[in-house]
Structures are given as structure tokens and as C-alpha cells.
Amino acid sequence: MSLAAASIERKPVTYFATVLIVLAGVAAYFSLGQLEDPNYTVKDAVITTVYPGASPEEVELEVSDLIETKLQELKQIKFVESYSRRGFSYVKVQALPTFWGDDLQTVWDQMRRKIRDVESELPPGAGRPVINDDFGDVFGFQLALTGDGFSYNELETFAKEIRRELRVVPGVTRVDLWGRSGEGRLYRRKGDPAQPARPQ
């Protein structure tokens, strides 16, 4: 006997099973966890070092290799890879997938200690390695500030005042400013090299 035939012959059982499935689905829907901006743990970190005037080969041998070798001593690291360009070293680190939250922060703290240990071995002229492990922030809103008749410095002053007020709002953990007047070289209008474009 097929399932369809059995369902037709035993209608009370079919109705009862249907009601149970619907009720279970409704209960499961309302018990699901919901977050507008769920926590997302990024297990990558980046170490950048400037070495002005050095060739890519010199950067690799005198900076990138030293940092890579030191980081490979950490058992919590999944892999390390580096890119060396003229005057610039970029080292990417990824932690093992078993580390989350506070445990991951402990890994980054140990990584920082390793990097600080290798600083004394870097060649003269090389800058201090800059470590960035802050990739997990989620921006919920992006706001643009414009104003006809105001200079870029005045707009930046207003933006800083708004940032100060937003930082005290409950639930706000970080407020960044983009397109400031000091960064105008990245936001120029085509054909107007002297004046930066208005932040958008």
C-alpha cells in the first residue's frame, strides 16, 4: 500500500499528523535565535612593515622571513603567508578554527609578543611592524554629511561633534569618519586636482 493511499484511507490519522507538524513548525519559528548584527569572529590578522628604499628581495629576506619564522613558533596558527614589495612587507596570519572569542584574543596577544621580540632583529631603517586583528566590526549605518557654503574643515568639525554624540548612544561601540579633508587626495573630482570632492 502506498503512502498516499494509506493517508486517504486513514483520514483522522492524517489530519492529526498534519496538525502536529504545523504546530511544531510554528513553535520552532518563534524559538529561533534572531540577531540583526550577529557576532562574526574573523580569525585573520595582518602585520605590515615599511622598509623604505629596500627592494622586494631585501624586504623578503630581512623582514618578511624573520616575521614568518617567528610566527610559525605559535601552535595556534593555521598558516602564515607573506607578500613582499618594494619598501613594504605584508604578512597574513590565520588562527586555527578551534579558537573563538576570548581564546582568539589570547592567540593575538601571544602573536604580538612574538612580533615585539623580532623587532630588535629588523634591519636599520625598517619601521615598527603594525598589527591589525580588528576585522570583526559590523557597521549598521553609514551616514553622509554635506553642506553648501561650508568648508571641508567646518564639515569635519561638525562630523567630529556628531561622532562624539553617537559614541554615547547605548549599543554603539565604534564610530569612524571617512573622507576627511586630510584624506582629500583619495576623493577628488575629475578635472579638479586642487579641491577634494565632498564626502559622500
Summarize pLDDT for 25-42 with one digit per residue, the tens: 999 888 877 666 566 677
Q: Given a cut of 60, is residue 134 above it in pLDDT?
A: yes
Whether residue 48 sits in one domain with residue 122: yes
Question: Is residue 140 a part of any domain in this protein?
Answer: no
Cα–Cα distance for residue pair 59/53, rounded to 1 Å: 10
Same domain, 28 and 50: no
Query: Are 53 and 2 in a shared domain?
Result: no
pTM for the structure as a whole: 0.54
Domain assignment present for residue 141? The answer is: no
Of the pLDDT bands very low, low, confident and very high (cuts 50, 70, 90), residue 177 is confident
Same domain, 121 and 70: yes
Residue 34's pLDDT is: 66
- What pLDDT was estimated at residue 153? 85
> Is 137 a domain residue?
no
Q: How many independent structural domains does the chain possess?
A: 3
* CATH number of residue 49's parent domain: 3.30.70.1430
Domain span at residue 127 reads: 44-132
Beta-bridged to residue 92, according to DSSP, are 46, 81
127 and 158, same domain (yes or no) = no
- Same structural domain, 61 and 102: yes
Q: Cα(96)–Cα(107) distance, rounded to whole angstroms?
A: 10
Q: Report the alpha-carbon distance of residue 80 to residue 103 in Å, rounded.
A: 19
64 domain residue, yes or no: yes
